[in-house]
Amino acid sequence: MSTQTISPGILDHDLTKASVDSILMDFLESRGSSGDSRMTRIVKLLEDFMVGGKRIRPVLTVMGWQAAGGETVPAAVLRVAASLEMFHAFALIHDDIMDDSDTRRGRPTIHRMLAGKRGDDRDERFGLGAAVLVGDLAFTWSDQLLHTAGLTPAQSAAVLPLVTEMRTEVMLGQYLDLQATGELTDDVDATLTVNRYKTAKYTVERPLHIGAALAGADAATLTACTAFALPLGEAFQLRDDLLGVYGDVRDTGKSRLDDLRAGKNTTLVALALRTADAAQRARLHTLIGDPALDETGAEEVRALFASTGARDIVERMIDDRYRRALEALETAPFTADAVTALKHLAVTATRRNS
């Protein structure tokens, strides 16, 4: 186990990221050296997959720790943070299977990588099954990182129920998302519910809770985390929806045709359908969800998002939620350093281009 610790007060989180990366790589190194060549290959795949992630959940775990008054960040907290990142690798690998995505972080997805080059039916089935398994291993190992973090009994008792709820919520969110995929909806509330489960709670609220609980946070502190996290998390996802359509693949590592081709029911799409006239709506239905959609078709969709006003509404929703998150910080019983860091995070999460 790593004994590295981090001093408090850092704002750019580079040290958190580096520490978490080093825990993850040491851990995978030890799992890969079992002597079984198949295991070595799986571990290598996971290592490559995990390079280049934003590490937002580990950073938020450390921020939660600091918000609740935790000072020098102990190795145990960093190891829990690393465990959330390993869990996230699991979630992404399975999401990519469900969404049938080709690329992630600028590289082929795990199921594509494992399917090999021939692309026949048997290879496809192997890629799919083996990717399910690589995801399952990442889940198993995220748990191992957690169990070997060296938590006190009080920390375990506070954190493990939060981890269970975090996992259950993201899976329910993904289930709702999957149910909606393939049939476009103009139900804006439904898209915001998926957003709340898959992103606001999973990506922001629960990591903050887990970090705060490790520092012994009381109920008022956890409630304040929620008041900040839910609007910010929603804003984060709305920004993601925009980046999925307008982002640059060189920044996002993700084709900006994927979401449109998959017919992903984002809030952006639901708003466009709701405000469109009959002719516009028909074009949106034709273009979104077409697996063969090309860049010309995507440009037409983008023009419709502009002319229906949907894009502007999403930008306003992001602004509104950003402001609510900042307001929540004003009354939160957090340390001053943590408030500064969370304000900074709110800007980067909502203004980012990757």
Q: Which residues bind a second copy (CB under 8 A)?
A: 31, 36, 38-39, 42, 94, 97-98, 100, 122, 125-126, 128-130, 132-133, 136-137, 139-141, 143-144, 147, 153, 156, 160-161, 164, 167-168, 171-172, 174-176, 178-179, 181-182
Q: Whole-number minimum distance, CB 100 to a second copy, in Å?
A: 7
How far apart are CB 293 and a second copy at their closest, in Å?
16
In angstroms, give the least distance from the CB of 126 to a second copy. Answer: 6
CB proximity list for 189: less than 8 A, separation 6 or greater: none
**Min separation Cβ 265 and a second copy, Å:** 13
* 261 vs 244: CA distance, rounded Å: 11
Nearest CB to a second copy, comparing residues 158 and 287: 158
How far is the C-alpha of 326 from the C-alpha of 70, rounded, in Å? 21
Report residue 135 as tokens: 């995801």
Nearer to a second copy, 52 or 129 (CB): 129
What are the φ and ψ backbone dihedral angles of 7, each rounded to 5 degrees?
-75, 150
Q: How far is CA 297 from the centre of its chain?
A: 28
Residue (86 or 342) nearer to a second copy, CB: 86
Q: Which helix (H) or strand (E) holds 309?
A: none
The CB-of-15 to a second copy minimum distance in angstroms stands at 29
Whether the Cβ atoms of residue 110 and residue 93 lie closer than 8 Å to each other: yes
Dist CA 297 CA 65 (whole Å):
46
CB of 302 vs a second copy, minimal distance in Å = 25
Nearest-approach distance from CB 249 to a second copy, in angstroms: 25
- Taking each continuous run of H as one helix and of E as one strand, the counts in the chain are 17, 2
Which run of H or of E encompasses 103?
A: strand 103-104
CA–CA gap between residue 307 and residue 280 (Å, rounded): 9
Of the pair 140, 353, the CB lying nearest a second copy is at 140
On whether the CB atoms of residues 181 and 258 are closer than 8 A, the answer is no
Instruction: Report the alpha-carbon distance of residue 174 to residue 92 in Å, rounded.
Output: 11
Return the number of the residue (128 or 326) whose C-beta is nearest a second copy.
Answer: 128
The least distance separating a second copy from the CB of residue 94, rounded to whole angstroms, comes to: 6
| Residue (161 or 333) nearer to a second copy, CB | 161
Between 102 and 143, name the residue whose CB sits nearer to a second copy.
Answer: 143
DSSP H or E stretch at residue 108: strand 107-108
- Whole-number Å distance between alpha carbons of 306 and 137: 43
How far the first Cα of the chain sits from its last, in Å, is 32
Which amino acid makes up residue 126?
F
Task: Name which of 25 and 190 has its Cβ closer to a second copy.
Answer: 190
* CB nearer to a second copy: pick between 10 and 133: 133
Greatest C-alpha distance within the chain: 62
Give least dist CB 34 to a second copy, A.
Answer: 9
